[in-house]
Structure 1
Amino acid sequence: MSLTVVAEEEEAEICSPESGTNKILKTFKARQKKEIPKDEESDETDLELEEEKDEFDVTGRNQYLSVCRTLGVIPSSYFLRHMQDSVLSLRHHGIGSLGAKAISFPLMNNTAVIQLDLQDNWLEGEGGESIARMLKENCYITDLDISENRLGGRGAKSLCNMLTTNTTLKNINLSGNLFSDHHAGYFLEAFSENSRLKYVNLSHNEFSDNAAIVLGQAIAENETIEELDLSWNFFRRGSTLKLCEGISSNCRLKEINLAMNGFGDEGALAVAELLKRSTTLYVLDISYNRISQIGATAIGKALDQNDALRTLRIGHNPLGVAGAKEILQGVGYENCVITLLDLSGVEVDKEFREMKQSLEETKEVKVVHGVVLSDYVIKVKPKKEKEHMFGAPVAELDSTNILQTIKQYSQEKDAALGDVFVGMDKKKLGSVTIQEFIQGLQNSGIEVQESQMPKLVDLLDAIAPENLINYSIFRSK
């Protein structure tokens, strides 16, 4: 048997027959070593790579250019310049799904890149699959940021499948990828099987009640994750209970971010139970969750039973001054070891500030809060005087008293309205139009504010359906 045949058989054993990617790599390597001629390629190879005459492509540069030609993708000059950097940042480069496929080939055997940042590149599900295949082969990348790429269910399935076998990744950012309750099951398997991940970011997705149950179980079964970000999702009320149960069952989780989920007081009660049971959680962020004094009171009391938490962020909640005091009082318990209490955006009073100063003298703790209400002079605007027309409050005028009010006011002003209206009544009908009536007021020296004119017209119109007003009430007897 020739050496060429032996080499081909060994390569076939290493490469998975179901992967088109492995076939491409096999053909490419064989050409580089000149073990098989070009006309003997397999018809099943989905990318026909041109023969390279250079020496073995250690950097993967030639391979990348060849794949780009085949896929019809414009090569990224930035990627070519930095593909041997330990930190490779390609965020906001507009790579797209085909571009992700192109860079995945040289990255499979890349030994230089440790941190890979692909944030915001519109990879979608297809691009996510390419990166997942690459990470099944690459054993050097430890940090991956693939956030804001609209991966959806297809990307979630591929990446979670990769996580069940990958033994290198420690940190992964999957934020903003349209993951929903339908995709939560993929993470259950990934979290259960993976034994290397330390940090996972699933924020800015669409997980809600059903996902809370699945993710709660996934968190409970994982034994390595230390930091988990689930902020900016849709965990509400009762669903938070299932999530917190899973968190409290985890003995490795040190930091959890549940901010901006809007779970309210019912969710706050679940958090209180979590604090009573957890012995490893160091950092908890529950900001922006519509927690009122009721939830604050429960959390404050729970702090007496927790001797692990170091940082509590509970700002931008409608706690009220009383709720803020309940939390501060909880931090003051002897068992509590919190060193940072973040109440940003929460208004407090002078008494709270005094409690804070006293606490900071006895404990090594920093308290951040909103404005102190007693530091501001609240100026009360004087009540606006009631608006008057013809000497009477406008609000009290109606169609039954408007003419009598005008008569009384004209007498006080010595305005002879009756004579004015008689002079305007050329046909001696004993009445004038609304327009003539208003003109008569002005001719007699009785001014009407422009802003009040619509009100006066409405009142006169109510007593003059034919646009005629009997002025006899104003004539001298």
Structure 2
Amino acid sequence: MSALLHLFLANIVSQRSRKVVCLVVRSHDGTLICSHPSGTAYLAGFNIVETPGGSFMDSTLTLQNAYTTDDNTAGGRSSEPISKSKHAAPIRVLDLRGSHVDMDIMTQLSRGLSTNRFITTLSLSGNHLEDAAVALLASALMHNGCLLELTLSYNAIGEIGSTALAKALATNSHLRVLDLMHNRIGRDGITPWLGDTMRANYALRELKLSHNAIGDKTTIDLLQSLSPKALTEEEKLKARLSTRRHTTMSDGSADSHNDSEPFNSTLRTLLLSNTGISDETSTHLAHMLSHTRSLTYLDISCNNFTSEGNMSIARGLQRNASIRYLNYRENKLDEVAALATVRALKASSFLETALFQDCFGGESTVGSALGQLVKTTRTLVTLDLSHCPLEPPGVVEFYYALADNTSLRSIDLVSSRTARQEFWQSRCSKTRR
């Protein structure tokens, strides 16, 4: 990636009674490595490009006392000054990862973003940004109509900063990707706004909240905003009675819902790994999975579900018709929950990636169920069963099914059990990938 991604706009300075802009480039560790060779450029400041010669300039600058080089005259110069602006494609990506961004830089950056019409991707990951700096950025987002992707992972954002971002999202209708992974957003952060904001925001496509201890309450608020409101038992009974004359009575296996309250139907990616959620969240997660038609990528790995919670999620997966990527890693599944989950995946005609590292135990029935999944799937491309100590005779059925599978392109069976590895090598030598 070009060094122009690490551009900063320094303070406006005055030289020879003319306002000029000083452009500097910083490396990831914050070291100044280049400055604009001309101090006689008129102010512009948002349209930075790299010239063919490797220098950096604003595409709308008019340079003074500059001359064009005559390519046909060795070492010669034209006597005609440049009278027209140099127009080039503006940069779209501003990558400031690990650049030691401080409050002064954030102030300048926020001012620029308020009126910028070119940058679509901004990464500020790994800068130890705290709430005050993020609040400045959030205020700029309220006025920015161009930025599509914002990465703020590996910072120190807490409750105040996340709340400020939420207020910005309530009015910003352009941002598509928001990455807040590995921050300090706790149980009280983003709670007041998350549900209401997501119900009103139809622009965001990817929301990444992994490795923030947001807990059940916040996550439930989010999940409720992504699906129709679940009816109470009394409301379900009334709904059945009102539709009895027109439809066959339902067996109650599908949840009824209320379409009168708006919900978000555009979010496609949701990352909730290691967020401290448990069985309290699982029923709402199941309801969301049962009704969403937009969500295709879900990460709920490394959480605190028990067997009951896993069973609820399995019921949601059974009815889901959109998930293509599921990361379930490091959520322990007992035999009953494991069988329910695998059978739910078997019913899916969309799932392409299933990650179950360290999820399954050594029950033979689970191996058999996985064999049936592998035997019947036509869509599954990637399967992670690493550190799952599957045992014979069920695992034998699984290995035989692998030999006949035509969709899988990647499978991870890494384990400390050498006997099983030897069995895999002997039984699957005929498998061609």
TM-score w.r.t. length of structure 1: 0.59
Q: Contact (CA 8 Å) 2:375, 2:404: kept in 1 or not? A: no
* Shift in CA distance, 130/292, structure 1 to aligned 2, threshold 3 Å: same
Is 1:356 matched with 2:399?
Answer: yes
The higher relative CO (CA closer than 8 Å, separation ≥ 6) is in: 2
Give 1:114's match in structure 2, choosing from 110, 120, 127: 120
Q: Contact (CA 8 Å) 2:125, 2:152: kept in 1 or not? A: yes
Cα distance in 2 for residues equivalent to 1:164 and 1:246: 22
RMSD between superposed Cα atoms in Å? 3.1
TM-score w.r.t. length of structure 2: 0.65
Segments of 5+ residues of structure 1 without an aligned counterpart are 1-30, 33-51, 62-83, 378-477
Aligned to 1:374: 419
Aligned to 2:142: 136
Give 1:200's match in structure 2, choosing from 207, 213, 216: 207
Aligned to 1:189: 196
Amino acid at match of 2:276: F
Amino acid at match of 2:46: T
Cα distance in 1 for residues equivalent to 2:42 and 2:406: 66
Per-residue Cα deviation, 1:68-103 (whole angstroms, up to 9, x for no partner): xxxxxxxxxxxxxxxx63221111222134431221
Cα distance in 2 for residues equivalent to 1:179 and 1:251: 28
Is 1:174 matched with 2:176?
Answer: no
In the TM superposition, 1:23-422 aligns within 5 A as 55-59=42-46, 85-182=91-188, 183-220=190-227, 221-322=263-364, 324-332=366-374, 334=376, 337-349=379-391, 351=393, 352-353=395-396, 355-366=398-409, 367-371=411-415, 373-375=418-420
Amino acid at match of 2:297: E
Segments of 5+ residues of structure 2 without an aligned counterpart are 1-17, 20-38, 49-89, 228-262, 423-433
Cα distance in 2 for residues equivalent to 1:148 and 1:362: 40
Structure 1 residue 333: Cα displacement: 6.4
* Shift in CA distance, 318/123, structure 1 to aligned 2, threshold 3 Å: same
State the identity as a percent.
23
Q: Contact (CA 8 Å) 1:234, 1:261: kept in 2 or not? A: yes
SS at match of 1:184: coil
Q: Contact (CA 8 Å) 1:156, 1:186: kept in 2 or not? A: no
Q: Contact (CA 8 Å) 1:222, 1:250: kept in 2 or not? A: no
Q: Contact (CA 8 Å) 1:348, 1:370: kept in 2 or not? A: no
Per-residue Cα deviation, 1:301-355 (whole angstroms, up to 9, x for no partner): 2234322222211111242243641541351464774332211121234642553
Cα distance in 2 for residues equivalent to 1:261 and 1:323: 25
Cα distance in 2 for residues equivalent to 1:56 and 1:294: 68
SS at match of 2:109: helix
SS at match of 1:260: coil
Q: Contact (CA 8 Å) 1:170, 1:198: kept in 2 or not? A: yes
Q: Contact (CA 8 Å) 2:302, 2:331: kept in 1 or not? A: yes
Mean CA deviation greater in 234-243 or 275-284: 234-243
Cα distance in 1 for residues equivalent to 2:362 and 2:421: 17
Aligned to 1:393: none
Q: Contact (CA 8 Å) 1:350, 1:373: kept in 2 or not? A: no
Bigger Rg over Cα: 1
Amino acid at match of 2:333: I
Per-residue Cα deviation, 1:24-53 (whole angstroms, up to 9, x for no partner): xxxxxxx98xxxxxxxxxxxxxxxxxxx99
* Shift in CA distance, 355/59, structure 1 to aligned 2, threshold 3 Å: closer
Structure 1 residue 271: Cα displacement: 1.8
Cα distance in 1 for residues equivalent to 2:420 and 2:360: 20
Q: Contact (CA 8 Å) 1:209, 1:236: kept in 2 or not? A: yes
Amino acid at match of 2:279: R
